[in-house]
Chain A
Amino acid sequence: MPLVKIRDLHFYRGNRAIFEGVNIDIERGKVTAIMGPSGTGKTTLLKLIGGQLRPDKGTIEVDGQNVHKLSRSDLYELRKRMGMLFQSGALLTDLTVYDNVAFPLREHTDLPESMIRDLVLMKLQAVGLRNARNLQPAELSGGMARRVALARAVTLEPMMIMYDEPFTGQDPISMGTLVNLIHRINDAMGLTSIVVSHDVEETAEIADYIYLLSDGKIIEHGSPVLLRGSGSQWVQQFMHGYPDGPVPFHYAGPDFEEDLLKPEEYA
C-alpha cells in the first residue's frame, strides 16, 4: 500500500484550475519526483499533502489517514512524522543553526539538553555542518541553509520528507552535495521522499519514479529511463529542455507579421 495516495485531486485558485483530477501514488521507501514547468502547482501539491491547503475535490491519504478529515491535533501528530524542506530553508532567523535543529525536539519532547545536544550534533554531522552550529542563518549560503533545514527535517525521525525545489539556485558543488544527501538519507533512514523539482538531470539521478505535471494534469509517469524514452513530444521537450515544441517559445497571441502591420498601436 502506498504511503501517500492522491485520488481525483481538484484544486482551484480563484477561477484558475491548478489540479484537475490528479492521481498519484507515492511508494514507501522510494524517492518519487514530481516534475513540471514553473507555475504548475508543484509546491501547492506539497502543501495539500501537508494539510496546509484543502483540496476542492478528491482525497489525499498519508499512511492510510485522510489528511483533510483529521482533527487539528491529529493533523499535527501526523505532521510530526512528515518532514518538509522548503525552497528557502525556512530556518528561524532569530535562532542559531544549533537551536534551529534542536527546535522540533524542544517543542515536542521532554528530552534533557544533554541528549538534545547529542541528537543535534549527530544530525548536523550527517549534513556536514556540525562545526557551523553556532552560526546564524544569515551567515549561511543557500546550500548550507538547505542542509541545515534537512538536518532539522529529519530530527524527529519522520517517515517521509517532502523536498520543495531543493536544487534551485545552487552551485554545482552544493547541488552535488544535496543530491547525494537526499539519496543517502532516504536509504539510511528508510524514508519515503517526495522531491518537487524542475531540475531534470539531478532529479532523474536520484528518483525511483517520476510524475510529470502540466496544466493541472499528470502528463506521464514512470521510471526515469521510461520517461526518457517516452514517445510523447511534450515529455521529450521537458526531459531534454528543448526551447520549442508542444510548449511554445512564443507567448500565445496574434501572428508576428499581423502585429507588424499595426504600427498605430503605440502611436
Chain B
Amino acid sequence: MNPRRQRRLAAVGGAGLLIVGAVALMLFALTDNIDLFYTPSEIVEGKDGVKPTVGQRLRIGGMVVPGSVSRDSESLEVTFKLIDTGPQVTVTYAGILPDLFREGQGIVATGVLAEAGVIQAEEVLAKHDEEYMPPELAEQMKGIKHVKPSEGSYE
C-alpha cells in the first residue's frame, strides 16, 4: 500500500474510533432514558436508588401473574398483577386489551403511578417472545394450548 493510501486509511480508522467512542459514551449516559419501561421490582424498590413518585407517568413491563386478572362485570375495567423476579405491582386499566394479552404473558403498560405499587394504565401493549412453534409442539413442550383470542377467557 502506498503512503497516501496508508494515511487515508489511518485517518478513516482514527475518525471511526472517535465516533464509536463518542456514541458509546452517549448511549451509556442515556441508558436509563432508552429503556422503554420499568420492571415491577424497579417500581417497588427503585431503580439506581430512585423510586418513582406517586403521580409520575411511567411505563411498566412484566409478566401477568396467573390467576390475578379480574374483570368488572359492568364495565371494561380490568385489574391484574405484574411480576418480574421480585415483588408484584397491581395495574388497573379500562379499555380493550390486545389479542395476545393472557395470563403468563409479558406486557408493557403506560400510565400513572396512582399509589405505591398501583398503576392506573392508559395503554396496555402485549410483548411476545422470540420463540415460534406450531401449536402441537407448544402443547407438548410447554403445556400451553393455543387459544384463539376470540375464545379466550380471563376469569
Binding partners A and B: no
